[in-house]
Structure 1
Amino acid sequence: MNTTMRQRSALLAAAGTALVLSLTACQGDEDAGTSSAPSAEATVASSPTASGTPAGKGTGTPGATGAGDPAGSSKPNGSAGSADDSAGGTGGSGGSGEQAGASAPLCKAGDVKVTADTQDGPPYTHIVLTARNSSGHSCRMTGFPHVQFLESHKQDAPAVAKSKPGGPIVLGAGDPAYALVKLSDGGMDEENEPVVAFSVTLEGDPTVIAVSAPGSEGIAVDPAKALTGYWTYELRNGADDF
C-alpha cells in the first residue's frame, strides 16, 4: 500500500515538473517574439528610404534654380550692348538713327577729352575745340561748349545759332565732335588779353574742364568779341563762318 502510494506520488511529481517546464518554454517563446518587434521598427526608422525625401529636396531643387538665374539675367546685358552699338553707329542720321541718338546718354566731362588747336594762320582769330569720346561707350553731345576765357569775365562766349546741327551728335567710342570758337576780330586796337588756359563745361554737366590754349605763348582774346559754335561732326563752310 505504501509502495503503491509512493509510486503514484512519484508519477504526479514527474508530471508536475514536465508541466512547469512546458509552460516555461512557451513563455520564453512569447517573450522572444515580443522583443523582436521593436528591433524591426528601429531598423525601418533609420533606413535611407525613410530620410530619402528631405535629402532629395535639399540637393536637387536649389541646384536647378541656381542654374536658371544666370541664363535669365544675361538678356538685359545683351540688349543694352545692342542699344549702345546702334546708337554709336547711326548717330546723326535720320529716322531710326535720330531715335537711337536721342536715347544715348549725354556725354559728361569724364566721358570726353577736350583739346584746342588754332585755325588757319595769323592773326589767329579762331580756335577749334575737339571733344573726343574716351569713355568706351556711346554718348550724345548736345548744345555748344560753355567757354569762359578769363577769371575777370565770368560770362560764357555766346553761341552762334546758324552753326546748330540738324540732328543729334552721337559719339561712338573714340569719335570726335568739333566746335569753332572765335577769339577776336584780329584788330590791333582791340582790348585783347593773353590766355594760356580756359574753362569749358558741357550741356547737362556743371563739371569744369580745364583746357590748355594752343601755342607756347597762349592766345589773345577779346571777351567782347568771343563767340562759339555748336558741337558738330565736322566744321562746315558757311554754317561755321563767323
Structure 2
Amino acid sequence: MNTSRHRSALLAVAGTALALSLTACQSDSDATSSSAPTTSATVASSPAAAASTADKGTAASDGTGSTGSAGAKTSAGSKGSGGSTGTSAGSTGATGEQAKASTPVCTAGDVRVTAARQDGPPYTHIVLTAKNTTGHSCRLTGFPHIQFLESHKQDVPSVAKSKPAAPVVLTPGAPAYALVKLSDGGVDEDNEPVSAFSVMLEGDSTVIAVTAPGSDGIAVDPAKALTGYWTPELRNGADDF
C-alpha cells in the first residue's frame, strides 16, 4: 500500500517535472519566435535608416553646395573689386599727357587738308581744315608749313599766341583748324593771285597740294601772310591776327 502511494507520488513528481520542462521549452520557443520578428524588423529598418541618413547627407551636401555657390558669388565679388583696380588704371590712363604723347603724329596720309574763305570781301583770311581720314587717332602738332608762291620759297610765319595749351589729338573723322592771313586787304598792296599752294605737316616732309578757295583763287601779299597753329576750333583773340 505504501509502495503504491510512493509510486503515485513519484509519478506525480515526474509528471510535474515533465510539465515544467515542456512549459520551459515552449517558453524558450515563444521567446525565440518573438525575438526573431524583432530582429527582422531591425534589419528591415536599417536600409530606411541608411536612406534617411543618406538623404540627410545629401541635404547637408546640398547645403554645402549652396554655401559653395555663395562662396563663388563672394569670389565674383572679389573680381568685382578687381574691376575697381581696372577703373583706377583707367583713371591713370585718363591723366591725358602720357596717352596723348603715345598717340602717333599725324602724317600727310592720315589727313585731308582743305581751304575755305573766312568772312566776306575783302577776303583777308582763309581757314585750313585738316580732317583725320583714318580709323585711328593721331596727334597734329605745330602749325601748317605753307608756301603760297614759287617766287617765295620760305614758309609763312606762324603766330605764337595761337599755339594751343594741349596737344591736338584727332580721333577718326575729327577736324583741326588753322587760320591763315593772306593780306591786309588794302588796294595798294603787292598782292599776287594764287590758285593752289603747298602745305606740309610738322614732322612730315610730304607736300600736300591744296586748291585755293573761290573761282578766281586768292590774293596773297607774301609780306603780310601769317598762319596760326592747328587747334580743335578757331578761338577769338588768339586767332585774331
Q: Does 1:225 align with 2:233?
A: no
Shift of 1:169: 0.2
Shift of 1:178: 0.2
Matches within 5 A, 1:38-117: 96-117=95-116
Aligned to 1:162: 161
Q: Secondary structure at the match of 2:180?
A: strand
Q: Secondary structure at the match of 1:200?
A: strand
Shift of 1:97: 1.7
Q: Distance in 2 between matches of 1:223 and 1:101?
A: 35
Q: Secondary structure at the match of 2:206?
A: strand
Amino acid at match of 1:104: T
List 4+ stretches of structure 1 deviating above 4 A: none
Amino acid at match of 1:136: G
Q: TM-score, normalised by structure 1?
A: 0.61
Q: TM-score, normalised by structure 2?
A: 0.61
Aligned to 2:187: 188
Shift of 1:99: 1.8
Shift of 1:96: 1.5
Q: Distance in 2 between matches of 1:231 and 1:155?
A: 19
Question: How high is the sequence identity, in percent, across the aligned residues?
Answer: 79
Q: Secondary structure at the match of 1:199?
A: strand
Q: Distance in 1 between matches of 2:106 and 2:201?
A: 8
Shift of 1:98: 2.2
- Spell out, residue by residue over 1:158-198, the C-alpha distance to the aligned partner (whole angstroms, 9 max, x if none): 00000000001000000000000000000001000000000
- Spell out, residue by residue over 1:21-68, the C-alpha distance to the aligned partner (whole angstroms, 9 max, x if none): xxxxxxxxxxxxxxxxxxxxxxxxxxxxxxxxxxxxxxxxxxxxxxxx
Aligned to 1:175: 174
Q: Distance in 2 between matches of 1:98 and 1:231?
A: 18
Provide structure 1 residue ranges, at least 5 long, that are not aligned to the other structure. Answer: 1-85
Amino acid at match of 2:167: P
Aligned to 1:122: 121
Q: Secondary structure at the match of 2:200?
A: strand
